[in-house]
């Protein structure tokens, strides 16, 4: 992810709340990297809500990020993910990168059963007046849904003077896959190049019996049997995927890659 200083005129767009009611909820893993979203827009099946102020969240397609900045008094604007199916009793991780430009920024992250601010009753964490001008910070927040259902994750911008808040690489992952004693062993797998165009080279610290590639909705789009150190991904469409490797000891190693 490149950090780009840009003119704030790109941010001066005020649109009403946008939501596509025909979009269905997705299963974990949910991933949004904003790489294919045009400047000024938001990804398909996400939504935004302007409560006060003059500027809404929008993508910036040069470096594939989501951003917002409003120098007015008491701004409040929300960005909501697509609906994600969550199960009560399971533990999930919400991860994302964030940084600020020019002056300290403030925002909060919450989740609820509808993409509207009145539903964002489960506040996960507030980030108040964090320093700007630093490298992107990776956040990892734990989610314990109170009931099984569809949930939306909201990013609530609370202002930062004349600066800009940038968010990227939002994902929702299941943290405890105890039903099959699955371990999330991202650090045990190395893949390169990433992003990949034709082939994905895999280095795994464990012996494996095969692999699967999942799209961002959790659907298996490619399966392999046997030990694979080189995987042909040339036929995949551009976007984000998860490589799931089945290890001989019964565990699973999972990592994300981007097909360019």
What pLDDT score was predicted for residue 91?
A: 84
The confidence band for 20, taking pLDDT boundaries of 50, 70 and 90, is very low
What pLDDT score was predicted for residue 183?
A: 40
> For residues 184 and 121, which has the higher predicted lDDT (pLDDT)?
121
Partners of residue 86 on adjacent β-strands: 149
pTM of the predicted structure, to 2 decimals:
0.62
What pLDDT score was predicted for residue 208?
A: 76
The strand order across the sheet containing 208-214 reads 220-225, 208-214, 239-247, 252-259
> For residues 11 and 219, which has the higher predicted lDDT (pLDDT)?
219
Using alpha carbons, select from 67, 66, 78, 77 the residue that is nearest to residue 32: 66
Is the pLDDT score of 53 beyond 70?
A: yes
Is the pLDDT score of 93 beyond 80?
A: yes
Cβ–Cβ < 8 Å for 3, 99: yes
Is the pLDDT score of 6 beyond 80?
A: no
What pLDDT score was predicted for residue 78?
A: 95
> For residues 157 and 61, which has the higher predicted lDDT (pLDDT)?
157
What pLDDT score was predicted for residue 3?
A: 36
Average pLDDT over residues 129-142: 82
Is the pLDDT score of 62 beyond 70?
A: no
Domains along the chain?
8-174 (2.60.120.200), 178-259 (2.60.40.1930)
Over the range 70-84, which residues count as b (16 or more CB within 10 Å of their CB) and which as e?
Answer: bbeeebebbbbbbbb
Angle at 81 between CA 77 and CA 83, to 5 degrees: 130
What pLDDT score was predicted for residue 131?
A: 76
Is the pLDDT score of 149 beyond 70?
A: yes
Considering 52-56, 81-85, 162-166, the range whose residues carry the highest mean pLDDT is 81-85
What pLDDT score was predicted for residue 130?
A: 80
- One-letter-per-residue 3-state SS of the chain: CCCCCCCHHHHCCCCCCECCCCCCCECCCEEECCCCCCCCCCCCCCEEEEEECCCCCEEECCCCEEEECCCCCCCEEEEECCCEEECCCCCEEEEEEEEEECCCEEEEEEEECCCCHHHCCEEEEEEEEECCCCCCEEEEEEECCCCCEEEEEEEEECCCCCCEEEEEEEEEEECCEHHHCECCCHHHEEEECCCECCEEEEEECCCEEEEEEECCCCCEEEEEECCCCEEECCCCCCEEEEEEEEECCCCEEEEEEEEC
What pLDDT score was predicted for residue 192?
A: 86
The confidence band for 179, taking pLDDT boundaries of 50, 70 and 90, is very low
Cβ–Cβ < 8 Å for 210, 223: yes
């Amino acid at each position: 992810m490149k950090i780009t200083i840009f003119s704030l005129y790109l941010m001066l767009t005020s649109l009403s709340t946008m939501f596509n009611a025909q979009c269905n909820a997705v299963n974990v893993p949910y991933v949004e990297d904003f790489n294919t979203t045009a400047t000024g827009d938001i990804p398909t099946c996400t939504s935004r809500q302007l409560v006060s102020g003059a500027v809404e969240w929008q993508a910036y397609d040069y470096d594939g990020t989501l951003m917002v900045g409003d120098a007015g008094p008491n701004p409040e604007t929300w960005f909501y993910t697509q609906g994600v199916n969550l199960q009560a009793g399971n533990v999930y991780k919400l991860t994302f990168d964030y940084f600020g430009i020019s002056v300290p920024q403030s925002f909060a992250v919450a989740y609820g059963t509808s993409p509207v601010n009145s539903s964002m009753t489960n506040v996960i964490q507030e980030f108040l007046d964090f320093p700007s001008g630093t490298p992107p910070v990776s956040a990892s927040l734990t989610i314990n849904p109170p009931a099984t259902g569809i949930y939306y994750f909201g990013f609530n911008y609370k202002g930062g003077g004349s600066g800009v808040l940038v968010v990227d690489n939002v994902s929702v992952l299941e943290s405890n896959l105890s039903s099959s004693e699955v371990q999330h062993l991202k650090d045990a797998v190395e893949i390169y190049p990433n992003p990949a165009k034709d082939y994905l080279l895999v280095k795994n610290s464990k012996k494996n019996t095969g692999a699967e590639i999942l799209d961002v909705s959790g659907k298996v789009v490619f399966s392999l049997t046997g030990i694979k150190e080189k995987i042909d991904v040339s036929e995949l469409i551009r976007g984000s995927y998860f490589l799931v490797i089945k290890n001989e000891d019964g565990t699973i190693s999972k990592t994300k890659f981007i097909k360019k």
